[in-house]
Structure 1
Amino acid sequence: MSKDTIVIREIRSGDNEQIEQVIRDCFHEFKIPLEGTAYTDEETPRMFESYQNSNDVYFVIDNDGEVMGGAGVKPLKDFEVDVCEIQKMYFSPKVRGKGYGKLMFEKCLQFAKELGYKKCYIESASQLKAAIHMYESYGFKHLKEALGSTGHYSCGVWMIKDL
């Protein structure tokens, strides 16, 4: 794996199977509940099709054709129109700890601002300690309860930030 072959780009239709596998593998690796999480979301097997609106985007980390992670921005379902959610941010162990997650996160935040969102919401699982620490370092504040209607009842960490 060479740094000059790794790019962050928008998802393509041919990426669905690979990003689905990255997402599902993380749940098993970190022992995150499968029900009530992104694992069982209808959009997880069809990520490309799920992010084709003018107010959302999904980015992937591509290493010479191998999808090694991703993250997306969407309006927070059943909530205020100026609040987005960063969702389905998962990475292969091959790229963790190399700064790509931070780059991806910054790209998502920038995209959210460009779309005119005023706040950004995140749900996570307590097992994802490194991710939660990163969110905190970017100024995300913990909430006492979930916002919107994501259906992720097994996520116990809810955070928000003004953009």
Structure 2
Amino acid sequence: MKISIQTYSDIYQKQVENLVLGIQNDEFLLGLTAQDQPDLPNIAEFYKNGRFWVALNEENQVMGTIGLEPLNEKQAVLRKMFLDKSMRGNKDINLAQHLFETLLQYAKEKDYQEIWLDTPPPAHAAHRFYERNGFELMPRESVPTGYKLAQIAGLKIYRLTLN
């Protein structure tokens, strides 16, 4: 299977919503809607000062997503990193790492010094992924000004310091 990572286009809006909400609600039982999230109903507008990427298979189906929301000149938030179930653990494609490296390259080009993210308690594989990639667990009180945190109990917050 061949996967390409591309900058988001509105033609993928519904597929992105379906992927994200399916994982949030069917797998993690978070009970969220698109309207509960500041970015999901209008991805292009929300990420206009940042970037959002989709990973597409040969049939133009969204297999993964990742976004970067700037907070200020030096800090940004990694948002909406989701993979279709069929992509998780696939060492041949290693889609999570490719999506993350795409975001990381962009963040370095923009000269960000920190990338922040939050993730729900049941996302154990995501926690391991972020920690393997150098993110540190941070207290909720340490989030930068302007960071919109999801209202989810036990949310884990991570920070990656870039050189």
Q: Does the CA-based 8 Å contact 2:66-2:78 persist in structure 1?
A: yes
CA-atom RMSD in angstroms: 1.9
- Equivalent in the alignment of 2:161: 162
SS of 1:94's partner is: helix
Identical-residue share of aligned pairs (%): 25
Structure number with the bigger relative contact order (C-alpha 8 A, sep ≥ 6) is: 1
The whole-number CA distance in structure 2 between the counterparts of 1:39 and 1:138 is 30
State the 1:47 CA deviation.
1.5
The whole-number CA distance in structure 2 between the counterparts of 1:34 and 1:110 is 33
SS of 1:52's partner is: coil
- Equivalent in the alignment of 1:86: 78
State the 1:93 CA deviation.
0.8
Q: Does the CA-based 8 Å contact 1:23-1:39 persist in structure 2?
A: no
TM-score by length of 2: 0.86
| Correspondence 1:131 to 2:126 | yes
The whole-number CA distance in structure 1 between the counterparts of 2:82 and 2:34 is 10
The whole-number CA distance in structure 2 between the counterparts of 1:151 and 1:129 is 19
| Correspondence 1:44 to 2:36 | no
Where in structure 2 are the equivalents of 1:103-114 lying within 5 Å?
A: 103-114=98-109
Opposite residue 93 of structure 1, the aligned amino acid is: K
**Could you list the per-position Cα deviations for residues 84-119 of structure 1 after superposition, in whole angstroms to 9, with x for gaps in the alignment?**
111011111121112101110111111111111011
Q: Does the CA-based 8 Å contact 1:123-1:159 persist in structure 2?
A: yes
**Structure 1 residues 57 and 115: CA distance shift in structure 2, 3 A:** same
- Equivalent in the alignment of 1:150: 148
State the 1:31 CA deviation.
2.3
Moved over 6 A (4+): none
Query: When the two structures are aligned, how many residues end up with a matched partner?
Result: 154
User: Which structure 1 residue ranges, 5 or more long, are not aligned?
Assistant: none
The whole-number CA distance in structure 2 between the counterparts of 1:90 and 1:57 is 15
TM-score by length of 1: 0.86
State the 1:32 CA deviation.
4.1
State the 1:139 CA deviation.
1.2
- Equivalent in the alignment of 2:52: 58
